[in-house]
């Protein structure tokens, strides 16, 4: 089982396969300046988010793509900001993206179900692994596991009973036979109507691309994703500013409690939250940080930014490298995921940042990985033409 688990790419790095609004504490009326000083960090974030509703007056002419918001084109500094930034987020470089439409939320279970019912598509997690494909990602000479371990399944987070060393994330991840998008925690779990607004999970990159193709959309590039996450503001440490999340400041659906053994659902959610349960950013996008990791179209390479910045010119609509290379696992091709998830915690994975990059094999689905889709600004009119009834 150990070999099979590795072959399905559990870990993104080491192991493959990876408001309540506070009230004003005021005893008497005060000036606007005094009110600002009395806002708690949580209420400050909520107040800023509430004020940042999208200005639809500058959107393209209607009709608009259902469930999507307009992200105007522009330039920004792409790359790491702050002490949590990692090597693959540098150097910071100038990027320009054209305008595009983006799903306001992560794709939901209900939306994914419509795709499955319309196409009969079978997700990666529902398929038995094939040894001929798996061994391509393993060192030469790796012996084939017993046939009994080649079963359909996916990766599920299991909180250990007590504190564990954080150097081995196999202590809180488990390959579960029968886990898939319909059974997020394994065969004993299922989806009900109340779960329709949760993000679909256990979807591989291949599954996400199949959905996008059916929907007439595509996955965002990581440049588009980062630009959208910033909400029209400058590059910064976190989307909400400079203050790290804490038990008293919960700006996104992240890990709450002691990781990984003592979850404290202070916001009401131990795992993923409904896709529209937070305050949207200035573009009208929900949960760009936290909740679930989101697939991007780009291959992952640690030297992508170095290569891109070498020209000294602004990079226009970058689509990522032509191939993948993760020096830690050179045999495993990987795609980029963005945004962090409900498992992100400062003690282990401070990836709740707009610049944070993660790397995952495209055949891997996990309980904390989903996606959202985009449509290029130039492609939406073409889609409308295809949808228009024939003229009489």
Give the tens place of pLDDT for each residue, 85-109.
Answer: 999 999 999 999 999 999 999 999 9
Least confident of 33-37, 49-53, 183-187, 311-315: 33-37
Query: Residue 18 — very low, low, confident or very high, per pLDDT cuts 50/70/90?
Result: very low
pLDDT at 391: 58
Question: Residue 171: how many CA atoms within 13 Å on its side-chain side?
Answer: 13
Evaluate the omega torsion of the peptide bond into residue 260 and state whether it is cis, within 30 degrees of 0.
yes
Residue 68 lies in a domain: no
Q: At 270, give phi and psi (nearest 5°).
A: -80, -40
Helix or strand run (H / E) with residue 78: strand 74-78
Residue 66: inside a domain? no
**32 inside domain:** no
pLDDT at 24: 25
Per residue in 139-181, pLDDT tens?
888 898 888 778 999 999 999 999 999 989 999 999 999 999 9
Residue 216 lies in a domain: yes
Q: Does 311 reside within a domain?
A: yes
Q: What is the CATH number of the domain that holds 140?
A: 3.90.1580.10
* Average confidence (pLDDT) over 14-29: 30
What per-residue string of b and e applies to 99-122 under the rule 16 or more CB within 10 Å gives b? bbbbbbbbbbbebbeebbeeeeee
pLDDT at 347 (0 to 100) = 92
Q: What is the mean pLDDT of residues 316-345?
A: 96
12 pLDDT more than 60: no
**Residue 3: pLDDT above 50?**
no
* Torsion sign (Cα): 121, 127, 132, 135: positive
pLDDT per residue as tens digits for the range 182-233: 999 999 999 999 999 999 999 999 999 999 999 999 999 999 999 999 999 9
Question: Which percentage of the chain shows pLDDT scores above 70?
Answer: 85
390 pLDDT band (50/70/90 cuts)?
Answer: low
Query: 343: Cβ–Cβ under 8 A, 6 or more apart, which residues?
Result: 157, 255, 259, 260, 349, 368
Does 63 reside within a domain? no
In a domain, 64, yes or no: no
Tell me whether residue 26 is in a domain. no
Give strand pairing partners of 10.
16
Which residues form the domain of 140?
A: 2-17+75-159+172-376
Residues, the chain, total?
392
CB 219 within 8 A of CB 374: yes
pLDDT of 254 > 60? The answer is: yes
Residue 288 φ then ψ, to 5°: -70, -25
Q: Structural domain tally of the chain?
A: 1
How many angstroms separate the Cα of 123 from the Cα of each of 23, 189, 363? 45, 17, 10
Q: What percent of the chain has pLDDT over 90?
A: 74
């Amino acid at each position: 089982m150990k070999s099979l688990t590795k072959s399905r790419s559990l870990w993104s790095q080491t192991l493959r396969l990876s408001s309540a609004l506070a009230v004003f504490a005021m005893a008497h009326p005060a000036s606007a300046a005094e009110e600002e000083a009395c806002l708690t960090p949580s209420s400050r974030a909520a107040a800023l988010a509430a004020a940042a509703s999208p200005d639809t007056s500058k959107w393209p002419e209607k009709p608009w793509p259902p469930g999507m918001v307009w992200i105007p084109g522009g330039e920004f500094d792409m790359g790491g900001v702050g002490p949590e930034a990692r090597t693959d987020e540098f150097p910071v470089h100038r990027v320009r993206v054209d305008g595009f439409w983006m799903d306001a939320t992560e794709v939901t279970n209900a939306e994914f179900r419509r795709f499955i019912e319309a196409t009969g598509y079978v997700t990666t997690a529902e398929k038995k692994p094939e040894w001929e494909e798996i061994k391509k990602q393993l060192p030469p000479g790796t012996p084939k596991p017993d046939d009994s371990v080649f079963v359909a399944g996916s990766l599920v987070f299991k909180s250990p009973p007590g504190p564990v060393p954080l150097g081995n994330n196999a202590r809180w991840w488990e390959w579960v036979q029968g886990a898939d998008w319909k059974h997020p925690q394994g065969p004993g779990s299922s989806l009900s109507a109340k779960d329709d607004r949760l993000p679909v999970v256990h979807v591989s990159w291949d599954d996400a691309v199949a959905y996008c193709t059916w929907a007439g959309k595509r996955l965002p590039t990581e440049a588009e994703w980062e630009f959208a996450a910033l909400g029209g503001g400058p590059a910064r440490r976190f989307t909400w500013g400079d203050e790290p999340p804490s038990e008293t400041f919960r700006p996104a659906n992240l890990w709450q409690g002691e990781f990984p053994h003592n979850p404290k659902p202070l916001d009401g959610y131990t795992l993923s939250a409904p896709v529209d349960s937070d305050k949207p950013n200035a573009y009208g996008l929900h949960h760009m940080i936290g909740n679930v990791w989101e697939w991007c179209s780009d291959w992952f390479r640690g030297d992508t930014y170095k290569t891109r910045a070498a020209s000294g010119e602004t990079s226009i609509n970058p689509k990522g490298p032509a191939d993948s290379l993760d020096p830690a696992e050179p045999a495993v091709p990987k795609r980029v995921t963005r945004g962090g998830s409900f498992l992100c915690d400062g003690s282990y994975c401070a990836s709740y940042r707009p610049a944070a990059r993660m790397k995952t094999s495209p055949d891997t689905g996990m309980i904390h990985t989903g996606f959202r889709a985009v449509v290029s600004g130039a492609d939406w009119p073409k889609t409308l033409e295809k949808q228009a009834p024939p003229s009489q």
